[in-house]
Amino acid sequence: MAYSDKVIDHYENPRNVGSFEKGDQSVGTGMVGAPACGDVMKLQIKVSDNGIIEDAKFKTYGCGSAIASSSLITEWVKGKSLDEALAIKNSAIAEELALPPVKIHCSILAEDAIKAAVADYRKKHNE
């Protein structure tokens, strides 16, 4: 299957790969797996005191589309509030990357990972 140019760009030059220091209370971590293929995505957000996502990082063990989806969503969430980040739909990722139907679940993984990261942050802060 041919990957779109945007997938290839994010796959070859992934943005925001890595992770934040353990124990950082301003970080929320989401770890999700795709039952369809076994790929795993870890996504972290670093939240400022006024509730804005100031940085994001990811590690993805998976296909090119999953790596591109996580790279893209880490770019998109920066500067957003938690609620704005929760509003990002996988369909927007799939559209931006021109994912074919069999790769839609890769973008769902990214949406689920952000949701899990926000939930983790909120749990840490008793929100």
Q: Does 104 engage in binding with ligand FES (CB under 6 A)?
A: no
**Binding window for ligand FES (CB under 6 A); candidates: 7-15, 45-53, 102-110, 111-119:** 102-110
- Is 109 within 8 Å of 93 (Cβ atoms)? no
Cα 98 to Cα 111: distance, rounded to the nearest angstrom: 16
Site for ligand FES in 32-51 (CB under 6 A): 34, 36-37, 39
Distance CA 65, CA 104 (A): 9
x/- map, 55-94, ligand FES, by CB under 6 A: -------xx-xx----------------------------
Residue 24 CA to residue 28 CA, distance in Å, equals: 9
